[in-house]
Amino acid sequence: MIKDRLPNRIFIKLLLGFWLCSSLIIAIVGLLPLLQQNHDRAPLPPHLEKLLERYAERIIDNPEIIQNNQFRRLSHRRDFQGKPIRFYLVNDQGRVINTEKVSRGMRRFMLMAEETSEPISHQFKDELLFGPYDFEVLGKQYSLYGRFNDRHPRPWFFFFAENKLLTLTLAIGLSGLICGLLAWHLGKPLRTLRLSADALANGDLTNRVDNATTKRKDEIGQLAQAFNGMADSVENMVNSQQRLISDISHELRTPLTRLQLALALARKKGQESAETKRIAYEAEQLEKMISELLELSKVKLNAHDHKKHLGLAETLGQVLDDAEFEAEQQQKELSIEIDEEIELPLYPKPLSRAIENLLRNAIRYSHSSVSIKAHKAMNIVTIEITDDGPGIDNEQDLQAIFKPFYRPQSARERESGGWGLGLAITEAAVMAHQGKITASNLVPHGLNVTIELPS
């Protein structure tokens, strides 16, 4: 119960992630102007205050400078560390009276000074402005401001405050990076879950979500644990089902063997009749069906044994020889195109049985020719078996022919009289290789079965 109350839920992660990301960006963008203002603006230094006081005293001592409009000669001085200083004399109406050219920076500074209750200095990009110094001459109030060129080193982050477009671009990029990391943190385990689900759906019952995902402390970790538990149950259930089918098939063989033995004894005693022949035929068919069921169960139960890395042509050698002989007996042509260099991890017996089933079906239903081709592209080995037979008319039958005991209403099944287990064994063998098998009709007629196996 305590663990459930900890802030480890996806909701908390999403909330904190997006909230912190947006708050961080807003704080950075909002604080830059404030930091710049606090860095550039400062109380009036004593040495600059004394400089303004000294020039104000000269005006106070010589009031005729103002009366005779001679104060313009006080505008420029060169007595402060060798830097030219410019002074601005402002009357009680806020008008600069010693010059008609007032820079935009000075006007901004005068507005800043009016908002404060004490003299200040402010560092603009390449000049320092300071003041005011208030004094009285002949009963009138005046204020004195100063300015000189000065470039002080500034913190590197002020570059962003001066380049707002670049700052906005970087802010968008930073937020995208943070959100991308959060999306990756949440998306990676979900992709792992999806891959495990796909593998389970494709027949790999041993596939599980990795430990890194199951050990997470959020809902995704809980989902991964639940998925692995479900996969364990599914695997046990399917294996139990296959073992049950296998056990039943074995048990059925005992009375079937006794039945065949009784029929043999009856024949020796001369008791053979049409009925006993029919019983013998059905017993033989039942024996074949039980063998097919045992084979299907064996393929599915042993689907995850260790594979062997072998050549495809070598593995299918005996099957291809038998198929050539069978095609020759039926006056049909079998074309084989398999690259001798194709190698892949496989289960030799299940794959050979799968190809044998497909070739026998193709030879049985073809008119004159059958072909088997295999090629490797990237990490996939593709095997194609085609015939020039009638194909399968019904599209639904075409999609379902690999299901156990499925008997479509088509010419193929009516003629074969099978139980629908041969192609089911083929599909089980392909699925055991984590491959896939599909069937499609050819134009104008014929059937193509394609097997794709990972290499």
Helix (H/G/I), strand (E/B), else coil: 441? strand
- Please say whether the beta carbons of 372 and 442 come within 8 A: no
Q: Are 346 and 453 in contact (CB under 8 A)?
A: yes
Active-site amino acid positions: 250
Q: In Å, what is the CA distance from 308 to each residue of 69, 351, 433?
A: 108, 12, 11
d(CA 420, CA 69): 117
Residue 253 near residue 286 (C-beta atoms within 8 A): no
- DSSP symbol at 342: -
* SS3 label, residue 44: coil
H/E stretch holding 312: helix 312-315
Token code pair at residue 66 = 């103002």
CA separation for the pair 273, 265 (Å, rounded): 13
Q: How far apart are CA 247 and CA 242, in angstroms?
A: 8
**Looking at 217-368, which runs of residues are DSSP E strands?**
308-311, 333-338, 343-346
CB 263 within 8 A of CB 279: yes
Residue 377: helix, strand or coil by DSSP? Answer: strand
